[in-house]
Amino acid sequence: MLINRDSRGLLRLFVFLLALGCAPFAGAQVPTRNIVFIAIDDLRNWVGYAGDYPGTVHTPNIDALAAVSTRYLSAYTSMPQCVAARTSVMFGQTPATHGLDRVSFGPGDPDYDAIYADPGMISLPEVMADGGYYTAVTGKVFNTPLPARWDSSGPPITYSEFYNAFDPGPDNTFINPQVLDEEEQHPDQVVADWASDFLADYAASQPGINGMPFFLAVGFYQPHLPWRVHQSYYDLYPLQQVAAHVPVPGDLDDVPVKGRQYAAQPLVFNGVTTYEAVEAAGKAQDYTRAYLAAISHTDDMVGQVLAALAASPYAAHTDVILWSDHGFHLGEKFHWRKLTFWEQAVKVPLLVSAPGNPDYPVGDVSAAVSLVDLAPTVLDLAGLPAYSQFEGGPLHDANQRSPAVIYLNGGRATVGSDGMKSVDYDLSQPGLADRESYDLTADPAELVNLIDINAPGC
């Protein structure tokens, strides 16, 4: 399964050495910690340990990891959309720096292509490889597969064969959850199997890739749509027990025009919003159930990888990071899907399990943190020096880590250490008419905009 390491270009090595002052590992310890890096797509903060879901969400494996982790209870994406969010994580830069601060669909977008073709933009796995790590990936970690940036990679996963985003489904909502046939294998199962095999086989391979520690990234696709899982996962959530959200009437009355426009997107047909289509179909509870079922399926996949790690020779000296790229609305603020500044789209689960490391003790961190700091955190856990391209600092370092700032289409939101959230939908415009402010401690549902957008002078 494992392959020989790629030959790494002299230009990339030169840039790496230059960034480190031409003395990349002087005084640094030889890396000894392995790292498993688990990325989950579209998982809002609905995991058992967080308690955000108003009911029971079945995530026993993630909760077991949380029990031995530093739990970042206020972790934020840098962008509530996959492409830019993952670009920030994997290159250690905010959207303001790498330039992808708007909705992008990846290859073919000139800004995206320029970032990924730039030889000076060195990704996290490449920095890890140059630091003495064997790097491996399976599933969705970068937004698109980039095997050249890793030493080995799992089989390509073609999600388009699993999900047709242009199919309106029987309800005309373009949200089309289904029960997976018992004999059909979920793509995330392929990912979990490859990661498990990697952990079982690594010690005996080549041998152990010459004793190098590994950086294994594992990317699970669900609970991204289409929420196609086996019936047993639906059975965890009897429909009558599912807590579907009912928006507060008038909730958007104090929201700026741009925010209301975000809430109305995407339109499904003839100016009908997704929220209106879901309500007309009477499917809010069914869809919430399907999302929960998809979460529990992913939890089982995470559990399989963690069990393989526990059974391997590496369990005692491997750190685990689990994160989601952004969240997902299920009717809150009269909105379905993502692409808003509200908590459902931007707040995510984040765990760091580092046995014996005093910088990452078991317990809760309530201060707001940013996923931009994942790259510096990985280097910190690995015992490697900081890399100049990576902004911020390790998550444990309150003085160096990044502020929790979220970008979207010319706007920006910031969550402060005091729990205050500020949103500016258009940074190019003065005044308060396009702004929101929330006290997340007193008002976690963001029901009261503390800025009176209708006041004279706004």
Residue 325 has pLDDT above 60, yes or no: yes
pLDDT digits (tens, 9 = 90+) for 404-457: 999 999 999 999 989 999 999 999 998 899 999 999 999 999 999 999 887 765
Domain containing residue 134? 31-94+121-403
179-206 mean pLDDT: 90
Q: Does residue 272 lie within any of the structural domains?
A: yes
Predicted confidence (pLDDT) at residue 25 exceeds the cutoff of 60: no
Query: What percent of the chain clears pLDDT 90, i.e. is strictly above it?
Result: 82
Q: Give me the chain's average pLDDT, please.
A: 90
Q: Are 40 and 322 in contact (CB under 8 A)?
A: yes
Total count of domains within the chain: 1
Q: Please check whether residue 336 lies inside any domain of the structure.
A: yes
Token digits of residue 189:
């199962």
The Cα–Cα gap between 274 and 258 comes to: 17
Q: Is residue 417 part of a domain?
A: no
Does any domain span residue 361?
yes
- What average pLDDT score do residues 345-351 get? 98
Q: Does a structural domain hold residue 211?
A: yes
Write down the pLDDT at residue 10: 31
Per-residue confidence (pLDDT) for residue 2, from 0 to 100: 43
| Residue-wise pLDDT tens digits, 259-271 | 999 999 999 988 9
Indicate whether 28 pLDDT > 50: no
Quick one: which H or E segment has residue 258? helix 257-264
Check whether 27 has a pLDDT greater than 50.
Answer: no
CATH number at residue 46: 3.40.720.10
Alpha carbon distance 304, 381 (integer Å): 23
Per-residue model confidence (pLDDT) at position 29: 46
- Check residue 116 and give its pLDDT: 94
Mean pLDDT of 68-82: 97
For the beta sheet containing 435-439, the strands, ordered from the edge strand earlier in sequence to the opposite edge, are 404-408, 411-415, 420-424, 435-439
Say whether pLDDT at 3 is over 90: no
Least confident stretch, 123-132, 197-206, 340-349: 197-206
Whether residue 204 has pLDDT greater than 90: no
184 in a structural domain: yes
Does residue 6 come out as left (phi exceeding 0), alpha (psi in the -120 to 50 range) or beta?
beta
The contacts of residue 15 (CB under 8 Å, 6+ apart) are: 119, 120, 122
pLDDT tens string 138-150 = 999 999 999 999 9
Q: Does 163 fall in a domain?
A: yes
Confirm whether 180 is domain-assigned.
Answer: yes
Distance CA 94, CA 344 (A): 20
The per-residue pLDDT for range 149-187, each reduced to its tens digit, is: 999 999 998 887 888 888 999 999 999 999 999 999 999
Buried b (16+ CB within 10 A) or exposed e, 53-69: beeebbbebbbbbbeeb
CB 310 within 8 A of CB 367: no
